[in-house]
Amino acid sequence: MNTSLYRELGLTDDEYNAICGRLGRDPSYTELAMFSVMWSEHCSYKSSKVHLKTMPTKGDHILVGPGEGAGIIEVAPGVAVAWKIESHNHPSFVEPFSGAATGVGGIVRDILSMGARPIALLDSLRFGAPDADRRTPYLIDGVVHGISSYGNSIGVPTVGGEMVFEDCYAENPLVNVACLGVVEDRLMHGRAEGPGNKVILFGSSTGRDGIGGASVLASSEFDDTSLEKRPSVQVGDPFTEKLLIEASLELIRAGLVVGFQDLGAGGISCPTSEMAAKAGTGMRVSLDEVHLREPGMEPFEVMISESQERMMMVVRPEDAVRALEICKRWGLEARTLGEVTDTGRVEATRGGVVVADVPAEALADEGPVYRRPSARPAWFDEVRSAPDGSGAPDDLNAALVALLSAPAVASKRWAWEQYDHMIFLGTIVGPGSDAAVIRLPGTGVAVALSVDGNGRFCLLDPYEGARLAVAEAARNVACSGARPLAVTNCLNFGNPEKPGVMWQFAEVIRGIGDACTALATPVTGGNVSFYNETKGRAIFPTPVIGMLGVLPDPNDALAAGFVKEGDAIVMLGDTSPFDFGGSEFAKVVHGSLGGRPPALDLAAEQRLHRLLDAARPFLHSAHDCSEGGVAVALAESAFGGPTGFGVELGGSLQPHAALFAETPSRAVVTCEEGDVDPLLALARNQDVPAQRIGATGGTMLDFGVCSISLDRARSLFESSLPTHLSGSI
Amino acid sequence: MNARVGIITFPGTNCEQDCERAFAALGGAPVRVWHGDTTLPDVDVVVLPGGFAHGDYLRTGALARFSPIMDAVRAHADAGGTVIGICNGFQVLCEAGMLPGALRKNAGLKFRCKWVELKVENASTRFTSRAGAGQILRIPINHFEGNYYCDEDTLETMRADGRVILRYVQNPNGSLDDIAGICNSSGTVFGLMPHPERACEALLGSIDGAVIFESILDNARVSA
């Protein structure tokens, strides 16, 4: 075969030779296209597999770990949830509205494929500085509108997330979407059991949109021609997705579904090969039966089209008619493509001619595995010895104002008011707090959900940065009244073929693994996004941790906002004056990014979580201290409630360290004045430093050494993002 | 006997479960009704819930008005039965001509999901009898097309007849005359953009929505 052809499809010479060796012949064009998507980085995890295997994935409450559509966690006896995060970075840069919308659609189908009703979405978004160039506001507006348009229409609330701005994401925005589902009737698996069973494709028609969309875009770097790939981005149809959700759940309730999988990257190639490989069976499908959107599609296009809103199910022959009827009542196209075989092969025919006949395992499981060279990059020592931005500011008040107005800190209301965050009557704590708290319908249980990452910390030390991200996500969940239980992660990195990037990746995996082991929060799955580079410049290594916690009683939910005047404010945890490396203060006040990230003691972190749990009956509010330190945490608590506050942070620390250092394992909580002593006693028992620092009340954010009126601070905080975006959109 | 509440589900409707749960918790007896049916079961109240009927791809409510069930909904109202359209349901009722006016895209051209305050302008309707005149209700909105418009004569007539039932305290979407909810001339059909079903439980932030739903349940049996 002509070398330029397989290279154009993204396969290397060695990979092509491996395919020929496995088949014992040259692949047909259709087969080659199938291998190219199934063996792509995006689908095969060929560069990450050896590292991912080292993460902790087991726990008593983990029913399904990595490798299926989503992790499954038992949050209470008989109550199982599906939890997964996925990236749609590359498509969202090329076409922000559709890229983000289909990112939502894709993760929702992953959850659905497990037999779970999707009930909550969270987004972790990263862009360049909002006013750095003309394209960034367009990207921000497009991505937020895409999420809003799709999520609102399918009726799944978007309950939280994060939005971060950093120059390294200007030409490589990150769009990571997490989804939670509740298993309604029974758990589904992507397995094609039972030769003779029928294979049904249902949902949208199959078109030329997204031929090699996600798999091609996400498996190479960007350059000046990337925007020409716009036609490779799929277009979403949320109306069909909503019908797909309802029809799928009805099919499952009716007991008709033997095996179930969504179609995402890789198109029809993916569920046919993966479901057969998992069950040790084969599958024979006729491409003549695929409902096409346009005439004249080539067999390879039909096999790898990434048209959205499609699912594949395996049903017993006697149930096929009923299954097709249910789809029809929901207005969905459904066709029987063929059947499960015992050959171990995926066979596809068109007009009676075999166009593909390959071992299912070769496509699904036997992709290349690379242990890519890894080396600490040369620039690393330079960054570590650069100033950490810990110097005292000229003016504390000015520093406070600058931090509250910094886009990364300021209110994201502009975005989350565009999302339906209330549907399903489960949102007890919505966007703008530490974690979202969601009551699970039909149960007495609630879960807390948080997505967190910190690219700056990971740049300065990928191992420590990853541990910090896990700790912060868990702390957010603990501050919401929940016990951290399980993690899903989205790993966003540059080009894995560069040893420096691979070193960052390996270090991050080691950090996540250690932190998840220490906090007893196993990793249940996730997604790797490599090649986040444009013109040779990589993003900061950015693992995003999706933490799930459980609240046995939804009434125990806590929010970050103060509840009333006259409450005591208690600081939990100690502040270290050295924790400025990678901080928001260092960036905003000194323009510095250097030194070491804050030091984390995971045992202290866990003691804080246990204290928050034990002290729950005393607490009126709780808020984790992260970007901007205690000062920003207290200000946010005031914005979330009806009152200002007065505190004295004192101690031996310099004022700016007490206010702005980003020492982990800290939280600010409020309680009745009369409960301060028992709370402090509890903290001593749990070995957590704690002190009363002041009280709520008044109309000022009064830190003693500096102050600002609540009204002015709120106005800075609320107007920053809209102001940065206005005029440019 | 509990008031029977028929909840219409169009393809793309997504607030049917929430309405069902809220009415059931307040003592109503909800029953789902598929948009393709041509007759209503024996119900006292018809609810057109929020969502994106038929995807709202053409214009909100523009296709749903042609759904087979709509003739029966109209007949139910004509016979004195209660009909309430919430959000997308309000848009459908306007498109169907059962309420005057139209809902345009929000001023600002953004979807808005947020808590708002509503003033009860007329507390002597079957939808607001549990409220005090001028009472402020805290209920969330969730829409892109909630910017109410009608011609001047219609507005004058509605004002004079007390058919502007709810007004926004702070207008979130550019609605004419701050209108959040109106009823038809016979007082049987009520359309509103805010979502009362989302404000029927203290844990979710407000119980003010129950004022509207309980009024409807109180009056359902006498009216039907």
Per residue, what are the HEC states of A147-193?
HHHHHHHHCCCEEEEEEEECHHHCCCCEEEEEEEEEECCCCCCCCCC
Q: What distance in Å separates the CA atoms of residue A551 and residue A414, rounded to the nearest whole number? A: 29
Q: With CB atoms and an 8 Å threshold, state whether B142 touches A152.
A: yes
User: What angle (nearest 5°) sits at the alpha carbon of residue A683, between those of residues A678 and A684?
Assistant: 95
Over residues B5-53, the pLDDT tens digits come to 999 999 999 999 999 999 999 999 999 999 999 999 999 999 999 999 9
Alpha carbon of B126: minimum distance to chain A alpha carbons (Å): 25
Answer whether A421 sits within 8 Å of B113, measured CB to CB: yes
Are the beta carbons of B142 and A237 separated by less than 8 Å? no
Whether A287 and A229 share a structural domain: yes
Chain A residues whose CB is inside 8 A of the B139 CB are none
Q: Which residues of B are catalytic?
A: 87, 195, 197
Residues of B in contact with A424 (CB under 8 A): 17-18
Q: Are residues A249 and A192 in the same domain?
A: yes
Query: Residues A341, A413: one domain?
Result: no
- Write the DSSP symbol of residue A700: E
Q: Which residue out of B16, B106, B139, B203 would a mutagenesis test of the A interface target, given it has the greatest number of A Cβ atoms within 10 Å?
A: B203
Angstroms from B210 CA to nearest CA on chain A? 14
Smallest Cα distance from A490 to chain B, Å = 28
DSSP conformational letter for A555: G
- Residue A218 located in a structural domain: yes
For residue A64, is it within any domain?
Answer: no
Convert the pLDDT of each residue in A306-357 to its tens digit: 899 999 999 999 999 999 999 999 999 999 999 999 999 999 999 999 999 9
A418 and A326 share one domain: no
A367, A383, A414: which is the final residue of a domain? A367
Whether residue A423 lies within 8 A of chain B, CB to CB, comes out as yes
Within a 10 A sphere around the Cβ of A342, how many other Cβ atoms? 11
Partner-chain residue, chosen from A240, A417, A439, that has the shortest CB–CB distance to B113: A417
For residue B59, the model assigns a pLDDT of 85
Distance of CA B188 to the CA centre of its chain: 11
Measured between beta carbons, the chain A residues lying within 8 angstroms of B21 are 425
Instruction: Kindly state whether residue A137 falls inside one of the protein's structural domains.
Output: no
A88 close to B (CB below 8 A): no
- Which structural domain range is residue B70 located in? 4-223
Residue contact B11–A331, C-beta within 8 A: yes
Residue A718 located in a structural domain = yes
| Least CB–CB distance from B113: residue in A240, A419, A425 | A419
Tell whether the model's pLDDT for residue A201 goes beyond 70. Answer: yes
**With contacts defined as CB-CB under 8 Å, which chain A residues touch B25?**
none
Of B18, B55, B112, which is closest to A153 when you measure between CB atoms?
B55
% of chain A surpassing 70 pLDDT: 96
Kindly state whether residues A305 and A412 are assigned to the same domain.
Answer: no
Residue B211 sits at φ, ψ, to 5 deg, of: -60, -45
Same domain for A669 and A606: yes
Q: What is the CATH number of the domain that holds B19?
A: 3.40.50.880
> Same domain for A205 and A353?
yes
Residues A251 and A302 in one domain: yes
Q: B46-72: per-residue pLDDT in tens?
A: 999 999 998 888 888 888 889 999 999
Q: Answer yes or no: do B57 and A239 touch at CB < 8 A.
A: yes
Q: How does pLDDT run across A204-248, given as a tens digit for each residue?
A: 999 987 676 555 555 666 666 665 555 567 788 999 999 999 999
Which CATH number does the domain housing residue A310 bear? 3.90.650.10
In chain A, which among 238-267 make CB contacts under 8 A with chain B?
A: 238-240, 242-243
- Could you tell me the pLDDT band of residue A119, with boundaries at 50, 70 and 90? very high
Spatial separation of the C-alpha atoms in residues A132 and A590, rounded to whole Å: 18
Residues of the domain holding A296: 1-39+188-367
What the block records as the tokens of A477 is 């969940």
Question: A682 and A617, same structural domain?
Answer: yes
Query: What is residue A178's predicted lDDT score, i.e. its pLDDT?
Result: 98
- For B106-158, how does the pLDDT look when each residue is reduced to its tens digit (9 = 90+)? 999 999 999 999 999 999 999 999 999 999 999 999 999 999 999 999 999 99
Average pLDDT, chain B: 95
- A527 phi/psi in degrees, rounded to 5: -160, 145
Q: Report yes or no on A153 lying in a domain.
A: no
Picking from B22, B197, B203, the nearest residue to A554 by CB comes out as B203
pLDDT computed for residue A729 by the predictor: 45
A373 domain residue, yes or no: no
Pick from B31, B28, B4: which is nearest to B16 by CA? B31
A427 to chain B, any CB pair closer than 8 A? The answer is: yes
Residue at A271 is within a domain:
yes
Range A723-728 average pLDDT: 76
Claim to verify: residue A332 and residue A414 sit in the same structural domain = no
Give the pLDDT of residue A216.
56
Q: How many domains does chain A have?
A: 2
Q: Is A171 part of any domain?
A: no
Number of domains in chain B: 1
Residues A712 and A566 in one domain: yes
Distance CA B95, CA B102 (A): 7
The last residue of a domain, from among A350, A367, A384: A367
Residues A259 and A309 in one domain: yes
Verify whether residue A90 is a known catalytic residue: no
- Write down the mean pLDDT value for chain A: 94
Residue-wise burial string across B199-217, b where 16 or more C-beta atoms lie within 10 A, e elsewhere: bbbeebbbebbbbbbbbbb
- Give the pLDDT confidence of A160-173 residue by residue, as tens digits: 999 999 999 999 99
Look at strands B4-9 and B45-48 and give their pairing.
Answer: parallel
